[in-house]
């Protein structure tokens, strides 16, 4: 099964293409009580910022048809705790597990500060830049909505990062292609996509938004068609690998995302409804591949590239 599912990406030697998405799996160890995390291709840990963050006011999660809204607000214990406690603990318990460290911030300096240090951890094999964060120095506009700002951030981080850098693209833009191309030109090693779509729900009794933050990120099965479309667009416009995510629940979702252009797949919201979803997908892949005449995932990726 190892050769059948094996994927090679910048910085990542994956025994299979399945990994939990950042923000839906804590720092990984929370799910260790359910199954051996060594079975996963990698784990995208929760976002890390320079200082500890409490996050947004509650309520900050609301269910929606085929998905959920969240406005957690990047709650995390800060770089020092992640570096000195969380990552070493993960390395002790899961020495062969690839960690992709999600990094966030409010200004370019925040990202640079975290990226300069977090790659020193033995088990951090790559960085995922969360560019959907509001840039406080540019009027609160998200880093990921402006090609020049996104490229500048990518370039700054690449200068200090000791591991490959994957940039997480936001779907909340008019045209994702110029942003992706600018990030690629700035030296990114790959993309992860997509981040959540902005959404809102109203409480009929109070006539006010359900979330204290008013808006939140929509995730879950409802966003999969958007993710497929954007992955396909970026795949055909750029030449660096993509880790796809957005509404993945089944093994067919995984293969559909890879046929759209993803080289690996992250599972987000589905972890909340079934904590065993990732190992189930890994186990189900070989049988479904055989039914579809897919000899190996690396061969499938190559075929999709050749048809590009």
Q: Taking each helix axis as running N to C, give the angle between helix 297-306 and helix 251-260, from 0 to 180 degrees, rounded to the nearest 10.
A: 30
Among the listed residues 154, 52, 157, the one whose alpha carbon sits nearest the alpha carbon of residue 115: 157
The helix or strand, by DSSP H or E, that contains position 272, with its residue range, turns out to be helix 270-273
For residue 231, give the DSSP letter: H
Count of residues in the chain = 308
Give the catalytic positions in this structure.
133
In the block, residue with structure tokens 């929509």: 218
Distance CA 234, CA 194 (A): 11
Q: Collapse the DSSP code of 264 into the 3-class scheme (helix H, G, I; strand E, B; otherwise coil) and give the result.
A: strand
46 phi-psi bin (left φ>0, alpha ψ -120 to 50, beta other): beta
Distance CA 106, CA 91 (A): 29
């Amino acid at each position: 099964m190892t050769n059948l599912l094996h994927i090679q990406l910048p910085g990542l030697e994956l025994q299979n293409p399945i990994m939990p998405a950042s923000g839906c799996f804590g720092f990984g160890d929370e799910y260790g009580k359910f199954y051996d995390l060594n079975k996963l291709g990698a784990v995208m840990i929760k976002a890390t910022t320079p200082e500890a963050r409490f996050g947004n006011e509650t309520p900050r999660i609301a269910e929606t048809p085929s998905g959920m809204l969240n406005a957690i607000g990047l709650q995390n214990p800060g770089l020092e705790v992640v570096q000195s406690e969380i990552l070493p603990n993960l390395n002790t318990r899961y020495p062969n597990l690839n960690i992709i460290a999600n990094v966030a911030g409010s200004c370019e300096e925040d990202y640079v500060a975290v990226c300069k240090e977090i790659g020193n951890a033995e088990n951090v094999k790559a960085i995922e830049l969360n560019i959907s964060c509001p840039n406080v120095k540019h009027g609160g506009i998200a880093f990921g909505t402006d090609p020049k700002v996104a490229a500048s951030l990518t370039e700054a981080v690449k200068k200090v990062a000791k591991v490959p850098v994957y940039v997480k693209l936001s779907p909340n833009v008019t045209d994702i292609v110029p942003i992706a191309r600018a990030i690629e030109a700035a030296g990114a090693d790959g993309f992860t996509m997509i981040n959540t779509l902005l959404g809102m729900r109203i409480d009929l009794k109070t006539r006010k938004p359900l979330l204290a933050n008013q808006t939140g990120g929509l995730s879950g099965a409802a966003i999969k068609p958007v993710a497929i479309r954007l992955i396909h667009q970026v795949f055909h416009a750029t030449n660096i690998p993509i880790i796809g995510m957005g509404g993945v629940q089944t093994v067919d979702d995984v293969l559909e995302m890879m046929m759209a252009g993803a080289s690996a797949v992250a599972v987000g919201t589905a972890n909340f409804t079934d904590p065993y979803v990732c190992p189930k997908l890994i186990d189900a892949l070989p049988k479904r591949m055989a039914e579809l005449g897919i000899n190996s995932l690396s061969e499938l990726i190559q075929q999709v590239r050749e048809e590009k």
